[in-house]
């Protein structure tokens, strides 16, 4: 059968080569003058609404920034009046409230009364404003739409800044603790923006909720009715919040935490024109994405320049390994310029171009992979990066995204937490698999090293009964299984190993008849694999690449043929769905479904760069494997 596929590949070789060549050229053409790739980090319409609301409350007049966001919000409304977090969901209350609020503040409902009524009914039928997630309620409270008493007591979170409490702010994962500090200050003084006069969302209050009178904002410095202990904790909170700022004044480069930081400064009496507010505000504006070719607009939660650039560099090196090309050289210099040098974080890389204080494991692995061909030339940067990565291994043998030994799982269950996976940062199969594969493929550590053995044991222990692995940062079981299989293949596990065998059968069983793979965001919510009817290019690429790794370690001829047939079907699907007639700078593969995970049911990520790189990497891998089959054993 493999001989038949050699003939098939001979017939398709021109198409395969042409697709890879075109995908490579499109990536090269889209590199920015800085050497990075700036493809959109798309977290959905809530970020657009959140930004528009905050700018209104801050009395910022910037039509070029705000109007495109409002237009996108209107365009994204569904026929039932709701807004959602990913295609095909049932609508999301918090997202719908923020979109409704933004359009109301800017008087955009005037010509859309029927759509306004549909949105209103959706909100009321789903519990009204009180049922929103806490982050949405914080913005509503700052705007004077709801009382601060609808939110968790600040006394609870203030304990994180106590010297005696067994849990500290450092025990909370990075992206959450950057939000907690300003929320604590704002809720402690029940801050309402001074520009707010009358609530505009009173029609969204349910019959059991009463209107109330909002008081003027009072600077925290004049709020002296705190206990001495509470005042000490608030001062520590303020000091911590200010110390954690990035060089551009943002809070971890995230737009939501930065807006909260700005409002916290406002509660201290800072004028909107103060540099401490204007500088981070302009940093947020720089992350407003607009595609010059498609006019696609989105307010990015943060940019993904470092992550994009590392992945694109790896894709180019895989498909067209010319390490001396100007494109690669510019990308390498960009990545080197973004390596962190602060104490304790020295050597790691962060996700965004303006992230200088919060490196993470995933980005560090991706950057080190991109720098591997240049490790001798940039020996110090390579050494520091590897040392930081190795230092982040958890006691249980796995790796997490942001933290080390952040294992207080019970924090997820405190009453004040209303979002999943926001409080702690455990070891995950996808991160552990990516690190383990890197360490072995790049020969950073030998297979017998204790760090490798511990990581391998952790990964094998965390396989799901069905044979798959959970992916924390990609959607979801296809991603996690792909990461794990690559690590097991790098560890030279035998194909008759029980974990490898189970993973192979699971992967083959979920492949669609047309060769594609597709997984719903519902997997992340339900904790089990939920398939999509149609294939998704990124997930099909993950599936194909995983199958190719299984094929490489499979000694049994009949099983090799079975795997190669599945590989061929997946590759054919990607080739069939490649758009060679797109505009000169257009994309070859397109997808609307998010394939990145963040907070299940609240925030899912569509990386615009993913369909540009993962199919390319998988097809380049497929071409290499096909040529080896064609040449036969050496």
DSSP assignment of 21-61: HHHHHHHHHT--TTS-----EE--HHHHHHHHHHHHHTT--
Same domain, 10 and 148: no
Mean pLDDT across the stretch 242-253?
93
Three-state secondary-structure class, residue 266 = helix
Assess contact for 92 and 601: CB atoms under 8 A.
Answer: yes
Dihedral, 476, 477, 479, 481 alpha carbons, nearest 10: 160
Give dist(CA 442, CA 582) in Å, integer: 36
Classify residue 242 as exposed, middle or buried by CB count within 10 Å of its CB (0-12, 13-18, 19+). middle
Residue 583 has pLDDT above 70, yes or no: no
Give dist(CA 54, CA 551) in Å, integer: 52
In a domain, 482, yes or no: yes
In a domain, 507, yes or no: yes
Query: Among 298, 325, 360, which residue terminates a domain?
Result: 298
Same domain, 18 and 103: no
Specify the DSSP class assigned to residue 553: T
Three-state secondary-structure class, residue 130 = helix
Query: Among 245, 278, 298, which residue terminates a domain?
Result: 298
Cα distance between the two ends of the chain: 20
Neighbours of 184 (CB within 10 A): 26
**246 phi and psi, to 5 degrees?**
-75, 175
Which helix (H) or strand (E) element contains residue 450? Answer: helix 450-461
In a domain, 37, yes or no: no
Residue 167 has a pLDDT of 86
Same domain, 152 and 64: yes
Residue 580 has a pLDDT of 82
Residue 621 has pLDDT above 80, yes or no: yes
Residue 224 has a pLDDT of 47
Same domain, 9 and 109: no
Three-state secondary-structure class, residue 80 = coil
Name the nearest CA neighbour of 598 among 456, 419, 439, 443. 419
Residue 2 has pLDDT above 70, yes or no: no
Assess contact for 531 and 518: CB atoms under 8 A.
Answer: yes
Check residues 9 and 290 and name the one with the higher pLDDT. Answer: 290
Specify the DSSP class assigned to residue 567: H
Query: Among 242, 263, 298, which residue terminates a domain?
Result: 298
Same domain, 23 and 93: no
Name the nearest CA neighbour of 399 among 431, 358, 364. 431
User: In the beta sheet, which residues pair with residue 474?
Assistant: 596
Q: pTM for this structure?
A: 0.94
**What is the DSSP track for 86-118?**
STTS---HHHHHHHHHHHHHTTTTTT-HHHHHH
Confidence of residue 151 (pLDDT cuts 50, 70, 90): very high
Give dist(CA 206, CA 204) in Å, integer: 6
Residue 221 lies in domain: 42-298
Assess contact for 496 and 504: CB atoms under 8 A.
Answer: no
The Cβ-side half-sphere exposure at 384, using a 13 Å CA radius, reads 16
In a domain, 593, yes or no: yes
User: In the beta sheet, which residues pair with residue 425?
Assistant: 406
| Nearest-10 crossing angle of helices 93-105, 113-125 | 140
Same domain, 56 and 196: yes
Specify the DSSP class assigned to residue 222: G
Check residues 409 and 48 and name the one with the higher pLDDT. Answer: 48
Mean pLDDT across the stretch 113-122?
97
pLDDT digits (tens, 9 = 90+) for 399-456: 999 999 988 777 777 766 676 778 889 999 999 999 999 999 999 999 999 999 999 9
Assess contact for 409 and 395: CB atoms under 8 A.
Answer: no
Length of the chain: 634
User: In the beta sheet, which residues pair with residue 599?
Assistant: 603
> Which of these ranges, 153-167, 259-273, 602-616, has the smallest mean pLDDT?
153-167
Residue 415 has a pLDDT of 67
In a domain, 162, yes or no: yes
Assess contact for 51 and 299: CB atoms under 8 A.
Answer: yes
Which residues are CB-neighbours of 182 under 8 A, at least 6 positions away?
A: 241, 251, 257, 260, 261, 263, 264
Three-state secondary-structure class, residue 564 = helix
Same domain, 260 and 204: yes
Q: What is the domain count for the chain? A: 2
Q: Is 601 left (phi over 0), alpha (psi -120 to 50) or beta?
A: left
Give dist(CA 229, CA 226) in Å, integer: 8
Three-state secondary-structure class, residue 521 = coil
In a domain, 356, yes or no: no
Same domain, 497 and 618: yes
In a domain, 449, yes or no: yes
Assess contact for 172 and 160: CB atoms under 8 A.
Answer: yes
For residue 87, the domain's CATH number is 1.50.10.20
Assess contact for 397 and 427: CB atoms under 8 A.
Answer: yes
> Which of these ranges, 134-143, 288-297, 473-482, has the smallest mean pLDDT?
288-297
In a domain, 601, yes or no: yes
Three-state secondary-structure class, residue 306 = helix
Residue 584 has a pLDDT of 65
Same domain, 16 and 160: no
Same domain, 428 and 284: no
Same domain, 8 and 120: no
Same domain, 426 and 283: no
Classify residue 271 as exposed, middle or buried by CB count within 10 Å of its CB (0-12, 13-18, 19+). exposed
Residue ranges in 527-603 assigned as alpha helix (H): 537-552, 557-576
Specify the DSSP class assigned to residue 425: B
Residue 213 has a pLDDT of 44
Confidence of residue 507 (pLDDT cuts 50, 70, 90): very high
Give dist(CA 213, CA 110) in Å, integer: 26
């Amino acid at each position: 059968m493999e001989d038949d596929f050699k003939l098939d590949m001979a017939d398709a070789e021109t198409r395969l080569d042409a697709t890879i060549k075109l995908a490579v050229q499109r990536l090269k053409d889209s590199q920015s003058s800085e050497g990075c790739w700036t493809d959109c980090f798309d977290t959905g319409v809530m970020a657009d609404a959140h930004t528009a609301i905050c700018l209104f409350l801050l009395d910022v007049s910037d039509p070029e920034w705000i109007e495109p966001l409002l237009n996108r919000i209107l365009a994204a409304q569904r026929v039932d009046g709701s807004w959602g977090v990913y295609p095909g969901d049932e609508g999301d209350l918090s997202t719908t409230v923020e979109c409704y609020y933004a359009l109301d503040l800017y008087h955009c409902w005037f010509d859309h009364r029927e759509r306004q009524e549909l949105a209103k009914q959706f909100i009321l039928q789903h519990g009204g404003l009180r049922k929103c997630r806490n982050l949405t309620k914080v913005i509503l409270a700052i705007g004077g739409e709801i009382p601060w008493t609808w939110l968790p007591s600040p006394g609870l979170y203030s304990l994180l800044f106590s010297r005696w409490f067994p849990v500290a702010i450092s025990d909370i994962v990075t992206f959450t603790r950057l939000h907690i500090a300003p929320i604590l200050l704002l809720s402690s003084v029940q801050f309402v923006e001074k520009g707010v006069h009358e609530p505009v969302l009173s029609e969204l209050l349910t019959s059991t909720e009463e209107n109330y009178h909002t008081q003027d904002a009072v600077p925290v410095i004049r709020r002296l009715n705190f206990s001495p202990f509470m005042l000490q904790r608030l001062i520590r909170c303020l000091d911590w919040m200010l110390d954690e700022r990035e060089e551009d004044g943002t809070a971890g480069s995230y737009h939501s935490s930065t807006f909260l930081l700005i409002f916290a400064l406002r509660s201290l009496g800072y004028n909107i024109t103060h540099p401490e507010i204007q500088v981070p505000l302009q940093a947020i504006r720089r992350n407003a994405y607009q595609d010059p070719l498609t006019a696609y607009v989105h307010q990015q939660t943060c940019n993904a320049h470092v992550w994009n650039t590392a992945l694109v560099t790896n894709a180019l090196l895989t498909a067209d390994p010319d390490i001396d090309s100007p494109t690669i050289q510019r990308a390498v210099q960009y990545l080197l310029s973004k390596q962190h040098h602060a104490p304790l974080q020295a050597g790691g890389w962060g996700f965004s171009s303006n992230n200088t204080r919060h490196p993470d494991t995933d980005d560090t692995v991706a950057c080190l992979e991109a720098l591997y061909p240049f490790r001798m030339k940039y020996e110090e940067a390579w050494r520091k990066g590897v040392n930081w990565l190795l230092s982040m291994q958890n006691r249980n043998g796995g790796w997490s995204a942001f933290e080390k030994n952040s294992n207080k799982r019970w924090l997820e269950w405190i009453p004040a937490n209303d979002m999943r996976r926001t409080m702690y940062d455990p070891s995950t199969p996808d991160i552990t698999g990516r690190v383990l594969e890197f360490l072995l493929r790049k020969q950073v550590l030998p297979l017998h090293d204790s760090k490798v053995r511990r990581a391998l044991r952790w990964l094998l222990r965390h396989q799901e009964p069905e044979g798959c692995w959970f992916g924390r940062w990609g959607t979801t079981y296809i991603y996690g299984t792909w990461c794990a299989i690559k690590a097991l293949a790098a560890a030279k596990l035998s194909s008759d190993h029980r974990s490898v065998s189970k993973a192979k059968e699971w992967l083959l069983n979920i492949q669609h008849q047309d060769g594609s793979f597709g997984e719903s965001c519902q997997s992340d919510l339900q904790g089990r694999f939920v398939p999509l009817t149609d294939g998704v290019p990124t997930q099909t690429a993950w599936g194909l690449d995983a199958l190719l790794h299984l094929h490489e370690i499979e000694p049994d001829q009949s099983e090799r043929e079975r795997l190669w047939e599945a590989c061929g079907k997946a590759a054919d699907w990607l080739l069939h769905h490649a758009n060679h007639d797109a505009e000169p700078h257009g994309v070859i593969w397109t997808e609307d479904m998010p394939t990145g995970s963040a907070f299940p049911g609240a925030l899912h990520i569509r990386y615009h760069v993913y369909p540009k790189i993962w199919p390319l990497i998988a097809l380049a891998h497929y071409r290499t494997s096909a040529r080896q089959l064609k040449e036969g054993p050496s």
